[in-house]
């Protein structure tokens, strides 16, 4: 069994209005030291062992469903879990 | 200048209908090996050096604005950036 942590972020060149809104809210809440916020997604997948190659499966899942690769980048980390 | 990566996740005991929907979609897309998905948020904050304590500022920001601590947990990583 594997625990896969997927991070999806907007590409650098893409504007992030949600992040800008959070930055403005933080300035209103008296945190002027926060100069920028970028919002992304974080997902934890539990994947059972199968005959297919794990990295291939994760890349397919990310590009088909979890990330929009036109405007987003993704990266992931795999942890193997030992069942108790 | 600091780059702060904030990860917000639903607490273990809280149901995640969005994650369940993604799990079902993945099963329909022929990935039966994915047994569970939990959805969270990922944020990158750029924080300038100030007189206030950085960890204190981040904890205040997370608990006031970025995470709902009743149902969510957060963790963060700090990286110091050297301006070029």
Domains and CATH numbers, chain B: 2-80 (3.30.1280.10)
Q: Distance (Å, rounded) from C-alpha A73 to C-alpha A45? A: 17
Residue A4 is inside which H or E element, if any? Answer: strand A2-10
Mean pLDDT of A55-84: 92
User: Which residues of B sit within 8 Å Cβ distance of A?
Assistant: 1, 7-9, 19, 22, 25-26, 29, 31, 33-50, 52, 57, 60-61, 64-66
- Strand, coil or helix: what is B18? helix
Give B37's strand partners. Answer: A45
- Distance from B7 to chain A by nearest Cα, in Å? 7
Q: Looking at residue B18, what is its pLDDT?
A: 94
Q: Does A40 sit within 8 Å of B41, measured CB to CB? A: yes
- pLDDT at residue B83 above 80? no
Q: Looking at residue A81, what is its pLDDT?
A: 87
State how far the alpha carbon of B11 is from the alpha carbons of A66, B38, B67, in Å. Answer: 21, 10, 11
- The encoded tokens of residue B15 equal 């149901």
Q: Which of B34, B43, B45 is the closest to A47 by Cβ?
A: B34
- pLDDT at residue A82 above 90? no
Question: Quick one: closest CA in B to A43, which residue?
Answer: B39
Residue A56 is inside which H or E element, if any? Answer: helix A54-61
pLDDT digits (tens, 9 = 90+) for B28-70: 999 999 999 999 999 999 999 989 999 999 999 999 999 999 9
Q: What residues contact A50, with CB distance under 8 A and at least 6 apart? A: A57, B33
Q: Looking at residue A84, what is its pLDDT?
A: 67
* Angle made by CA atoms A41, A16, B22, in degrees to the nearest 5: 25
Mean pLDDT of A6-31: 94
- pLDDT band of residue B82 (cuts 50, 70, 90) is confident
For residue A61, the chain B residues in CB contact (below 8 A) are 26, 29, 31, 34
Q: How many CB pairs under 8 A join A and B?
A: 99
- pLDDT band of residue B84 (cuts 50, 70, 90) is low
Q: Looking at residue A39, what is its pLDDT?
A: 95
Q: What is the mean pLDDT of chain A?
A: 93
- pLDDT band of residue A11 (cuts 50, 70, 90) is very high
- pLDDT band of residue B81 (cuts 50, 70, 90) is confident
Q: Which of A26, A44, A57 is the closest to B61 by Cβ?
A: A26
């Amino acid at each position: 069994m594997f625990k896969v942590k997927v991070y999806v972020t907007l590409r650098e060149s893409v504007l992030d209005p949600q992040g800008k809104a959070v930055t403005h809210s933080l300035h209103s809440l008296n945190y002027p030291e926060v100069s920028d916020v970028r919002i992304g997604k974080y997902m934890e997948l539990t994947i059972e062992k199968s005959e297919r190659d794990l990295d291939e499966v994760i890349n397919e899942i990310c590009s088909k469903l979890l990330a929009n690769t036109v405007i987003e980048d993704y990266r992931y980390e795999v942890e193997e879990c030992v069942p108790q």
